Amino acid sequence: MTRPLWAPWRLAYIGEAGSQETCVFCAEAGGELGEESLLVARGEHAFVLLNKFPYSSGHLMVATLRHVGELGELSAVEAAEIHTLTTRSLAALHRVYRPDAFNVGWNLGQVAGGSISGHLHEHVVPRWAGDTNFMPVLADVKVLPEHLAQTRLKLAAAWPS
């Protein structure tokens, strides 16, 4: 029996999906978002930001500063920095939220779940024992107990140097 899913936060995502005139990652990289910024940390070639529509508290994304859509188009320096920032993301998330595990990965292409497939980004999703499946639309609704702005401040403060 299919159970109805009550997830009102998804309406904002659905309403915005595909309607942005500019790339959200490029806007974030260029500092155009001001108070709306979800930036946690920035490197020379990549940066870390919170997912505006997270699967769990602390859901981060690591993206290149350069607008690039194919994994094979990354320079060696960009790829290395993404790896470094991903590792630092794991450390900051461990310090702040103490998750039991993580999902780390790429959605390469729109049909793979990459809603912003034109700008590469890697997801870092903290997981806890007993939480729901990675795709909450297949299970019960997740409750995110903390505002994104508070999560960003905590993770930025815990960011490893």
Interhelix angle 148-157/76-97, nearest 10 degrees:
100
Please give the angle made by the CA atoms of 10, 29 and 85, to the nearest 5 degrees.
85
Q: Is 121 a catalytic residue?
A: yes
Catalytic residue chosen out of the listed positions 59, 121, 123, 147: 121
Q: Where are the alpha helices (DSSP H) in the chain?
A: 9-16, 24-29, 76-97, 148-157
Q: What is the DSSP letter of 107?
A: -
- Residue pair 103/80 in contact (Cβ under 8 Å)? The answer is no
Dihedral of the alpha carbons of 141, 147, 149, 150, in degrees to the nearest 10: -120
CB 120 within 8 A of CB 65: no
Q: Which residues are catalytic?
A: 121
